[in-house]
A and B are shown apart, each in its own frame.
Chain A
Amino acid sequence: MNKRHDRPDKERVVVTGVGMATPLGTGREEFSRRLFQGESAVDVVQAFDTGGAASHLGAEVRGFEPREWISVKNLRRMDRLSMLTTASARLALSDAGITVKAENRDRVGILFGSAFGATDVTVQFEDALLAQGPGAVNPILVPNTVMNAPAGHASIELGFRGVNVTVTHFAVSAETAVAYAAFEIRRGTADVLLAGGADILSKFYYESLSRFRGLSPDDGGPEGAHPFDVRRNGYVAGEGCGLLCLESLSSARERGAKIYCEITGAGLGSSPAPPTAWPRDSKGFRRTFLRALDQARIEPPGVSAVMAAANGGRVLDAMEADAYEALFASCAGRPWVTSIKGALGESFSGGGIRACALALSVEKGCLPATVGLERPAAPLNFVVGKKVETDLKHTVLSGISFGGTYVCLVFGRCEP
């Protein structure tokens, strides 16, 4: 029997809303439609000139109209990262059917993750400071150079005053935020928490990624995003925001809210790795993955599907595939494995968007295909070509970062 149901309903954490501004669209309907259709958002970057870099592809958020979601008064003070976040926050609350009012505003909050923050604002600030001196810097930019700006702006626009925390840890920033938000709901310090993350593309950031040799093509070959594929030669940079709306099962039931899934477990761990390098040995990741399963009180054979971290990078994808081969070696039926970074690129805090995608998957009983994967480099049960409809009882969102940090979350079908 599944012992997690020993937990009282007020300590069970469920997802009741999703909100996103992504390269595959803004808002649940558009995002879900394009994601499950297997569309790719990877294209030549239009927002800035990539002439200074060796790569030219990206997955950009296009056609995003901030005025649709944010009041003009607050919009003036926001940078792009804060706009994507605030819009996603509004969408997630509205998807969950929650209105922030005087009675509940102290119990609604946000746990936000960003890998790199507002790199565009920091560069703008440094340009003024270093080229023209301290007198030239614009004070209105100041708060936006700090990574907690998006969560602060979202709270001002939407009026929520509860727990408000921003975390960063490179490629597991958003997964970390979701894990902590789940603790807070379980602990009862908030009734409703938005949780996820955002990052944006900007010229200097893109050029820097290119210099660190992570972007496709790292071998002078054709450029593209091919997670788990033998042809993979680096990732394509992406951007966007994804936020879940979390609350306790008892609160969701009381409101009669629609429940996408339950977050039944989280594992956080690390292994020593050189700074900025992806870990090669899968041991630390496997241990973290098992920690998450253990918290959800399931074993590897109980896993129906994995939303993988693979982005088309040589080292990351090989390590992750290795880990799944070892973890599921003794399982009769292997779980489905899919990565949506072939369609959305690697945005580092993309764990927020991926968490939304997994919540939608569990609700629909359907997994999106790994766009860009044609010739798998490992014998795993990949979702290739088109979506698969399947029963998703227990699924895992895998977060892996360069530097050797891991966060895994278990999303399960919410059963009574």
Chain B
Amino acid sequence: MHLTFEPVHFKAQKLKDRPAPHAESGKCMHRGKRIVVTGMGTKNAIGGNVSEFARSLRAGVCGISKIELFDTGEFRTHKGGQVKDFDPRRSIPEEFSLKRMSRADALAMAAALEAVTDAGLYPLPENIKENMGVAIGGGAGGLLEAESFYADLLRKGKGRSKYSRLSSLFCASSADRIASGLELSGPRTTFMTACSAGATALGYARDLILYGHAGMMLAGGVEPMCRLTYAAFNALKSVDEDVCRPFDKSRSGLSLGEASAVLVLEPLESAQNRGAKIYGELMGYGVTCDSFHMTAPDGQASGAARSMRAALADSGLTAEDIDYINAHGTATPINDSTETRAIKEVFGSRAYRIPVSSTKSMHAHTLGASGALEGIVSLLALAKGFVPPTIHWRERDPECDLDYVTEGARRADLRAVLSNSFAFGGNNTTVVFGRYEGQGAVHE
């Protein structure tokens, strides 16, 4: 094992007496419906399931270590946040065929099954199957397998290559495998907004329920490690050779990771009727575009700030209501200073009083999955009452002067959490989650 453990310092934060958002006013009710999260599942570098993930987040575990999925000999860097010892058959029961499943498909399927089981919905009743849909944020899809195929093709020639190995190459395959495997009949969509895809999937999944197109949604994201992605970020020189150090003065790039993360979304009423446990509420989201550069953020931070404001407006909240910001925090020099600037623009002087952390320091940047994975982080923080830390931080950068929770996880009573995901192509998505208090609430 290459996991390193950092000391944990719990620092109790003063509990606020104010109630959870909307506990009284219900001001965010979109069309009379509130959408809550009742199940979660994940595979990532620091958790083989949600409870292990929660423990690792609290303990500040680092999952960034030497890549074993492929040879990194020729690359400039050799580390990443890999899902270790993943055996699909151990996570996916016999009744689901693994034939032609890519690593991405299997990771996504495993997370979906965990989420559905966690929601108390497995095996799924017929009436729920009929109206349940799947929204997945995609990334490299089946590229890891396609690369082996393509390498064979270059070596052996076309006649001898089995093109059926490409059948799970494209990202929509994961949602198809989940939906067909669970015999669902609701909408299926795969979101491709690069590093914000998982967050975008959560937002649109909520809308599908609000607008009556689905009764419940499995929403999340999946990103497998593959050579193309690894080579791409290396070519852009945006990878740290060691471990990523979000918001640190000498930060020099991100750490690439892989993960799957799936959440069960349903109307509050449905969750209460079936006596489900409720992690929290998906209150709102915002999607904007930099329209500036394909790989660099707008230095003015306009897109990021507009995305946070749009999410707050959609949630019916103000900057005053947010108690923790789960930052995009990739640890590239430009992202972290730009994001800090955007947070200050949106939150004003309150920015200095809100804890901001990048859990990418632990599970690495899981690209297409990250928005959904960090959605799980946000909901765990709300439900379990803690702020996860930014690990690997060493020295203060004058441009990054917020409270980045660098001393370890903190106990905290949170009312609402804002989670940022910014992407290549200038695609920004922010999701806001709220604490739920009432029947079924998960609180520790």
Contacts and interface: CB of A to CB of B under 8 A. Distances in A.
A109 B291 CA distance: 10
Nearest to B187: A268
A134 B427 contact: no
Interface in A115-158: 115-117, 122-123, 125-127, 129-131, 133-135, 137-139, 142-143, 145-149, 151-153, 155-156
A142 B236 contact: yes
Interface in A252-284: 266-276, 284
Contact of A183 (B211, B235, B286, B293): B211
Most buried by A among B171, B192, B234, B293: B192
Contacts of B427: 148, 151-152, 164-166
B188 to A, nearest CB: 5
Contacts of B302: 161
Interface residues of A, number: 76
Contacts of A143: 294-295, 424-425
Given A134-B234, A183-B207, A268-B133, A156 B294 contact: yes
Interface string B242-268: 000000000000000000000000000
Contacts of B147: 126, 130
B425 A149 contact: yes
Contacts, number: 218
A168 B170 contact: yes
Contact of B191 (A125, A135, A166, A208): A166
Contacts of B184: 270, 272
A124 B116 CA distance: 40
Contact of B176 (A133, A134, A405): A405
Given A126-B150, A163-B287, A164-B288, A134 B179 contact: no
B425 A134 contact: no
A159 to B, nearest CB: 6
Nearest to A131: B154
A160 B427 CA distance: 12
Nearest to A268: B187
B32 to A, nearest CB: 15
A126 B228 contact: yes
B74 A135 contact: yes
B28 to A, nearest CB: 14
Given A126-B150, A133-B74, A268-B187, A160 B194 contact: no
B154 A169 contact: no
A165 B176 contact: no
B227 A129 contact: yes
Interface residues of B, number: 76
Nearest to A138: B235
Contact of A287 (B76, B185, B306): B185
B232 to A, nearest CB: 4
Contacts of B133: 268, 270
A187 to B, nearest CB: 7
A71 B322 CA distance: 42
A137 B235 contact: yes
A137 B232 contact: yes
A404 interface: yes
Contact of B172 (A129, A134, A170, A287): A170
Given A149-B425, A155-B291, A403-B172, A189 B310 contact: yes
A207 B168 CA distance: 16
B177 interface: yes
Given A269-B185, A275-B180, A187 B207 contact: yes
B86 interface: no
B151 interface: yes
A319 B442 CA distance: 46
B165 to A, nearest CB: 10
A36 interface: no
A198 to B, nearest CB: 13
A237 B79 CA distance: 41
Contacts of A117: 192
A139 B424 CA distance: 13
Interface string B205-235: 0011001111000000000000110111111
Nearest to B204: A180
Given A161-B302, A164-B287, A169-B172, A176 B186 contact: no
B303 interface: yes
A273 B424 contact: no
A176 B303 CA distance: 25
Given A134-B76, A212-B163, A275-B168, A161 B291 contact: yes
A146 B314 CA distance: 28
B416 interface: no
B370 to A, nearest CB: 14
B100 interface: yes
A306 interface: no
Interface string B131-149: 0010000100000000100
A377 to B, nearest CB: 27
B189 interface: yes
B176 A146 contact: no
A148 B185 CA distance: 27
Given A77-B294, A161-B290, A270-B187, 12 more contacts: A115-B172, A125-B228, A147-B192, A152-B294, A159-B291, A160-B289, A165-B193, A166-B191, A212-B167, A268-B208, A284-B185, A287-B185
13 contacts: A142-B236, A148-B192, A152-B426, A156-B293, A161-B290, A161-B303, A165-B287, A166-B425, A168-B171, A168-B172, A208-B166, A268-B189, A403-B180
Interface of B: 74-76, 100, 133, 138, 147, 150-151, 154, 158, 163-164, 166-168, 170-173, 175-177, 179-181, 183-194, 200, 204, 207-208, 211-214, 227-228, 230-237, 286-295, 302-303, 306, 310, 314, 423-427
Interface of A: 52, 77, 105-106, 109, 114-117, 122-123, 125-127, 129-131, 133-135, 137-139, 142-143, 145-149, 151-153, 155-156, 159-170, 176, 180, 183, 186-187, 189, 207-208, 211-212, 266-276, 284, 287, 291, 295, 403-405, 407
